[in-house]
């Protein structure tokens, strides 16, 4: 089992039907899938109404960096679907140089394809991008599968009481 984190604005919204199918399939196979957004919870009523039954939980990071926010909850995502990779390790203010106040959401414009280059500075700051970079170059992952499985088995009991679980959902929809 793996833990997946899916960004909403700019990622899930690019292909909601495809992502919905992927999320259902992953959950049916026993994986955990969280919708993770930099929005404040007060800005996410529509997300909860639409996707509460699709995801294991919806996590609002309040413009904070996503991975540290999740890790503070005891959650370590193994796979990220994120249109702005820097948002995994950096806050909105660090990524864009500013952050909108609560109640004002900023959705990136993806009408033009953006290319993220892995410079040495980014590699040092973002271990996830480094792993992806190594995979693309054909290098093996630096974490053995057994270690990932051990980490999952240690982390799961500690997060179950901290996440909102949507137990009355019918995944066949």
* 54 assigned to some structural domain: yes
Burial class (CB in 10 A: 0-12, 13-18, 19+), 4: buried
- Report yes or no on 119 lying in a domain: no
Q: What is the pLDDT of residue 100?
A: 83
Are 88 and 67 contacting, i.e. CB atoms less than 8 angstroms apart?
Answer: yes
pLDDT at 165: 43
Residue 125 above 80 pLDDT? no
Asked if residue 165 belongs to a domain, the reply is: no
pLDDT of 95-111, one tens digit each? 888 888 888 776 655 44
Supply the pLDDT for residue 160: 43
Is 23 inside any structural domain?
yes
Which run of H or of E encompasses 32? Answer: strand 32-37
**Average of per-residue pLDDT across 165-171:** 46
Mean pLDDT of the chain: 74
Residue 61 falls within a domain, yes or no?
Answer: yes
Mean pLDDT for 57-81 is 94
Phi, psi of 59 (to 5 degrees): -115, 125
> CA-based Rg of the chain, rounded to a whole angstrom?
16
- If one compares 61 and 141, the residue with the highest pLDDT of the two is 61
Residue 62 resides in a domain:
yes
CATH number for 98: 3.40.50
pLDDT for res 130: 46
Number of folded domains that form the chain: 1
Which whole number is the average pLDDT over 145-149? Answer: 52
Judge whether residue 85 has pLDDT over 80.
yes
| Position 134 pLDDT exceeds 80 | no
Alpha helices in 126-170 (DSSP H): 127-136, 145-159
Cα 65 from Cα 87, distance rounded (Å): 6
Burial 145-164 (b: 16+ CB within 10 A, else e): eeebeeeeeeeeeebeeebe
Q: What angle do CA 164, 84, 120 make, to 5 degrees?
A: 120
Tell me which residue range forms the domain holding 43: 3-104+144-159
Tokens 């259902």 belong to residue: 24
Q: Rounded to 5 degrees, what angle do the CA atoms 18, 126, 44 make?
A: 45
Residue at token pair 């109640």: 103
State pTM to two decimals. Answer: 0.65
Place of tokens 């137990």: 167
CA dihedral 34, 102, 99, 46 (to 10 degrees): 40
Structural domain includes residue 89:
yes
Is the confidence at residue 151, as pLDDT, over 60?
no
In this prediction, residue 14 carries a pLDDT of 86
Assess whether pLDDT exceeds 80 at residue 157: no
Predicted confidence at residue 106, as pLDDT, reads: 66
Closest CA to 37 of 46, 28, 29: 46
């Amino acid at each position: 089992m793996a833990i997946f984190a899916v960004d909403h604005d700019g990622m899930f919204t690019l292909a909601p039907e495809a992502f919905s199918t992927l999320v259902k399939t992953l959950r049916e196979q026993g994986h955990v899938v969280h919708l993770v957004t930099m929005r404040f919870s007060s800005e996410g009523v529509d997300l909860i109404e639409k996707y509460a039954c699709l995801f294991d939980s919806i996590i609002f990071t309040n413009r904070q960096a996503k991975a540290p926010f999740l890790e503070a909850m005891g959650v370590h995502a193994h796979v990220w679907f994120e249109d702005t990779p820097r948002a995994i390790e950096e806050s909105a203010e660090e990524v864009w140089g500013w952050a909108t106040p609560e109640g004002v959401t900023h959705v990136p414009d993806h009408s033009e394809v953006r290319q993220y280059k892995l410079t040495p500075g980014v590699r040092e700051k973002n271990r996830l991008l480094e792993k992806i970079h190594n995979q693309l170059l054909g290098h093996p992952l630096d974490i053995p599968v057994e270690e990932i499985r051990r980490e999952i088995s240690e982390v799961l009991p500690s997060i179950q009481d901290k996440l909102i679980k949507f137990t009355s959902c019918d995944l066949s929809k």
